Amino acid sequence: MKNLVYLSILFCFVCWLGGCDQKPAIEPSGKTIKIGIIAPFSGPVLAYGTEGLKGMQVAMQLQPYLDNGNGIELVVEDDKNEPALTVRLLKKLVKEVKVSAIITFSSTSPVLAMAKVADDYKTPVIAAIATNPDITKDNGFISQLVFDDNFQGIVAALFVRDDLLIDTVAVFNNPTSVYSSHLAAEFERKFKSIGGEITDTISLTEETADLSKVIKGVYDHTPELLYLPISVKDVIRVIREVRKLDWTPKMMGGDGLISTMLGQHKEDIDLVNGMLATDSFAHGMPLTPFGEGARDLYLDKYEETRTAYAALGAEGYAILLNAMNRCSDPADRGCINRQIRSTTNFPGILGNITIGPNGKSQRALIINSIQNGRSKFLFKVY
Amino acid sequence: MAEFVASALFVYTDDTKHLIKPVQNHPSGTRISAVAFEVLMQKPQEELEGVDHVVVAGSLDVIKEILRLAMKYRFSIGIIPTKKQKHLIKFYDLPKNPAAAVELALRQDGQNIDLILCNEEIMLFKAAIGRIPFLDTPAKASWIQVLLNALRKFVRFKLYTFRFGTAAKKEINTAASGCMILQHARGSFAARLISHDYSFTDGMASLVISAPISIIEYVKLLRQALRSSKRFKNLPSSIGYIKSPQIDIEPETGLDVIIDDQLTTQTPLHCETIAKAVRINVGKSLQEESRGAKDVRERIDVENLPTEKELLKVKKQKRIPFFSYASDERFHDLYKDLSEDARLNSIYVVLMVLSTMLATVGLYLSSASVIIGAMLLAPLMAPIVSLSMGILRGNIDLFKNSIGKIVIGVFIALISSALITLLFPYKPITDEMLARLNPTLLDLAVAIISGIAAAYSKSFREIIQSLAGVAIAVALVPPLAVAGIGIGRLDFYFFYQAFLLFSTNLVGIIIAATFTFRVLGYSAVVRSKRSLVVVFVFLVLISVPLYLSFSRIVEDRIFEQNLRKERFLVNEKYLIIIRASIIWRGDKRIILMDILAREPLTREDLNAFKKKIQTNFSKKLIIRLKTFYIP
């Protein structure tokens, strides 16, 4: 009897150590559900797709099956971040491949194009990195995983004004980019409304000639900060001109800056050292258990610096599977869409994510400083 | 002007044959006849007839034989040392230079010196019995040599029981690892220990006894040995010393006796000093020393050595223990003080009432200085330290008295503060009270450190004034007063948390003081394991709520720290958290925040902010805000 008691205690202890309360392993059913991925894997912003896919693959390794044992098959399509191609691929994946849901790592313009026809295909789309607030407007199937540019622009303006205590800012934008012009406008609006002064608003495109003259003009108005929600190539061009003037103003960029730098412009990473940026990810922040698992696996697999795109990829996959698991038929597009849009407090990489019925996500935004090729966490904004 | 002997017999061996000519041709004019040692020993009487002075050059054994003959035939001796005979040179202060050595050997101003015979063997420098770490370490040994020697000798180190007898028929029963008889052994650690008290012309033999009863004592002895060339005013705590014309050594078991670095005989050992046994030509410094020599009495300095019950313990031990132990007699003064501290008296009661009243009023006033005054006035520390000693030594009287005194003190404190609380018309909860409601493992750490300090201060009279600092650090009465206030308010949470803090301090001090007394060597010869077990059980029991409390505080502090790096966007209003702190009221977690905002916050904003906090952190958080506006 005494031995039995000891054995029971030992068993309980071993259970406690080994985690007997963990979920039992899932038995594969042999069926597969297809998830489409539309992202640029070539062209000027291929980092969106390549990095995002890495994150998805890590998440897939952590969770290869749905709770009912169905496997997941990723069908990957390269849209080169071109809106027309994005729409064609959407049609292909829905009609021909018959995917149950789509995750896209394309930027605002292709996703806006997709938004116009999303209701026709009645297939849930998770836009992992597109931040324009209009992508969820006028359709019931595109859900936004990342914060939108209204939130991002307002936070950036308030941070600059109230945390950095800066009064004067010069804003750069690219009028050919919906993302850039919207974010710049939102920043400008908010900054002015709280008493800040915009010394210059510079429209910058690849065709802009005599950039040094433009920057000299900005310099003469002595702004304390340059707000640069423009492409990474343009950021690099601006910084080079600024350095020529031996000028060291504070600079702030938009989301994805560091990820694109790491993915495609590693050789110029020193140029952006010290720059501030709004993002959805930062190194050195406390991670959720899901985040820790994904990080460890990512480092094992890729042995390189993690990016925000990879983090969003992992989160997008996990949220999609979570939604599928809550459907009696995990391949039912309508159900998946409803469940995505009722995601509440889902533990992402850094914290909770909620996606409302309007497809908008509520999640924290991170303000980083880029230090030695890494995004160093400064503040988290809810 | 030096005077030389008129004639002398030069005794040589094969190794020193070459000295015949230098000795014979020495300008002193002394007539020298030379004889080989072997020839001399065949017919000593014949060879030594009419000889008043012998010059000898040979091994130590040869010299010892000549000394034996000198005692019998009463001739004086001159010694010519070889270069290798460093001990001999040092011992008799002989010149290293052969010519000077010959000159000294032929002089006629020899000194009468004592000889020690141990079991009939002549001992010139030293005799070692058993394990004598450090005692025979040369003074000029490097610290590495001393350390290696210490480690080597520590293997299989143990104590034996010994019986020592003296000429005055005194008998000393003790325990020791070994001992060493010295005859003016210059330079060793043992010689430094008794350097003020030995001579080769006083008719006495000096016996140094080594008895490190614990590893701690062994290390202490090592530390003293490492202090090179320092002379000792007092004997170290594990050393005994006997000086007598006759010494008998009888250990419990037969031990080898190494005389002048040669295994010569075995115990039991009888050593006898033959005063002024021979006349030898020695160096200048020894000549002066012998002129200043006085008659001395037998001396026995063995207070540091184990006696009575301690001997019984030694017999049972296979190896020396880590910590020292002591019989009641050994720490008589401290024991007397602690017994006094454990006794209940009216002064204690009055001081307890006054200090609690002062602490209670100070707590209501939230006045740190008044509370510190109460800490200094409180007499609780003394019986707690006595209790520690009672536990360590398993002394039931000390244990009962001190625990009784503590319980009465606690009772008085609780009643006093509860009564004051009942009498007060206004009962605010002050910051000073709140500060005593969240005991953690850190408080236990403070108590442990204070307990060590208390026991240490109590053990050394010269630092006893430090106890006041200890009393302030550990603060026994204020938590008791808060617990009493809890009783007065009929608030169990208040009472429990404050009493937990007091119990933490109490257990921490007891454990630490017990341990400290043990390290300092106050363990009883026969330890009471049961009392130690009881205290450790209390420690474990009290550690559980403290650990939980500590984990909660760590979690709260991390949360507070993280919040300072977090911002909230509420209806386009940017809220910066400049300070956040978490307090607990019962099981309710309240977060107090100072926030910075540019625009006025409406009820709607506050609700949205609360929702964000509760969504992202914890739904159970109760939020209290103070807003600062950016103009």
What ipTM does the predicted assembly reach?
A: 0.81
Measured between beta carbons, the chain A residues lying within 8 angstroms of B615 are 345, 352, 354, 362
Position B322 in a domain: no
**Percentage of residues of chain B with pLDDT beyond 90:** 7
Quick: pLDDT tens for B208-230: 888 887 777 777 777 777 765 55
**Helix segments in B134-233, DSSP class H:** 143-154, 189-193, 215-226
d(CA B457, CA B459): 5
Pick the residue of B572, B578, B615 with the most A CBs within 10 A to test the interface with A by mutation.
Answer: B572
Average pLDDT over every residue of A67-95: 91
pLDDT band at A59 (very low <50, low <70, confident <90, very high): very high
Average pLDDT over every residue of A342-360: 90
Query: Does residue A336 share a domain with residue A295?
Result: yes
pLDDT at A34: 92
Q: Of chain A residues 172-211, which have a CB less than 8 A from chain B? A: 190, 194
Residue A207: other Cβ atoms inside 10 A: 6
Position B323 in a domain: no
Position A88 in a domain: yes
Query: Does residue A262 share a domain with residue A191?
Result: yes
Position B76 in a domain: yes
Query: Does residue B544 share a domain with residue B442?
Result: yes
Cβ of A162 within 8 Å of Cβ of B562? The answer is: no
Position A12 in a domain: no
pLDDT at A18: 46
Query: Does residue B103 share a domain with residue B125?
Result: no
- Residue B451: domain span: 328-549
- How many domains are contained in chain A? 2
| Final residue of a structural domain among B269, B292, B316 | B316
Query: Does residue B282 share a domain with residue B209?
Result: yes
| Final residue of a structural domain among B549, B577, B608 | B549
The CATH number for B419's domain is: 1.20.1080
Position A8 in a domain: no
CA-derived radius of gyration, chain B: 38
Query: Does residue B352 share a domain with residue B468?
Result: yes
d(CA B299, CA B176): 18
Quick: pLDDT tens for B355-400: 999 999 998 888 888 888 888 888 888 888 888 888 887 788 888 8
d(CA B310, CA B321): 12
Asked if pLDDT for residue B330 goes beyond 70, the answer is: no
- Residue A95: domain span: 32-146+285-362
- How many domains are contained in chain B? 4
Cβ of A190 within 8 Å of Cβ of B615? The answer is: no
Query: Does residue B170 share a domain with residue B105?
Result: no
Residue owning tokens 């709140």: B434
Position B554 in a domain: no
Query: Does residue B491 share a domain with residue B439?
Result: yes
Quick: pLDDT tens for B393-436: 778 888 889 989 999 999 999 999 999 998 887 778 787 887 77
pTM (2 decimals)?
0.57
Average pLDDT over every residue of B2-10: 84
3-state secondary structure B548-569: HHHHHHHHHHHHHHHHCCEEEE
Query: Does residue B502 share a domain with residue B372?
Result: yes
The CATH number for B26's domain is: 3.40.50.10330
Residue owning tokens 């295909």: A121
| Final residue of a structural domain among B316, B339, B373 | B316
Q: Of chain A residues 284-343, which have a CB less than 8 A from chain B? A: 286
Cβ of B569 within 8 Å of Cβ of A354? The answer is: no
Nearest Cβ partner for B576 among A162, A194, A345: A162
Average pLDDT over every residue of A355-372: 90
The CATH number for A52's domain is: 3.40.50.2300
* Closest of A38, A32, A33, A34 to residue A118, by C-alpha: A38
Measured CA distances, B97 to B100, B104, B434 (Å): 5, 11, 84
Give the amino acid at A178.
Answer: V
Average pLDDT over every residue of A34-57: 90
Measured between beta carbons, the chain B residues lying within 8 angstroms of A158 are 569, 574, 598
Query: Does residue A70 share a domain with residue A218?
Result: no
Cβ of A380 within 8 Å of Cβ of B596? The answer is: no
Residues B110 and B200: beta-carbon distance below 8 Å:
no
DSSP string, B265-283: EESSEEEEEEEEEEEE---
Query: Does residue A373 share a domain with residue A240?
Result: yes
Query: Does residue A58 share a domain with residue A170?
Result: no
The CATH number for B134's domain is: 2.60.200.40
Query: Does residue B532 share a domain with residue B432?
Result: yes
Please tell me whether residue B102 adopts helix, strand or coil conformation: helix
Kindly state whether A381 is in contact with chain B, defined as any CB-CB distance less than 8 angstroms: yes
Out of B24-38, B467-481, B584-598, pick the least confident.
B467-481
Quick: pLDDT tens for A15-44: 444 444 455 677 888 889 999 999 999 988
Position A129 in a domain: yes
Pick the residue of A147, A154, A159, A162 with the most B CBs within 10 A to test the interface with B by mutation.
Answer: A162
Out of A255-259, A356-360, B360-364, pick the least confident.
A255-259
Query: Does residue A272 share a domain with residue A159?
Result: yes
Position B349 in a domain: yes
Query: Does residue A183 share a domain with residue A81?
Result: no
Position A225 in a domain: yes
Position A1 in a domain: no
For strands B269-280 and B111-118, give the pairing: antiparallel
Position A66 in a domain: yes
Cβ of B598 within 8 Å of Cβ of A381? The answer is: no
pLDDT at B314: 66
Measured between beta carbons, the chain A residues lying within 8 angstroms of B567 are 155, 159, 163, 379-382
pLDDT at A341: 93
Query: Does residue A243 share a domain with residue A351?
Result: no
Query: Does residue B424 share a domain with residue B345?
Result: yes
Query: Does residue B299 share a domain with residue B344?
Result: no
Give the distance from residue A253's alpha carbon to the nearest chain B alpha carbon, in angstroms: 19
Burial class of residue A338, CB neighbours in 10 A (0-12, 13-18, 19+) = middle
Give the amino acid at A193.
Answer: S
Query: Does residue B602 share a domain with residue B541?
Result: no
Quick: pLDDT tens for B538-566: 777 777 777 777 777 777 778 888 888 88
Query: Does residue B104 share a domain with residue B132?
Result: no
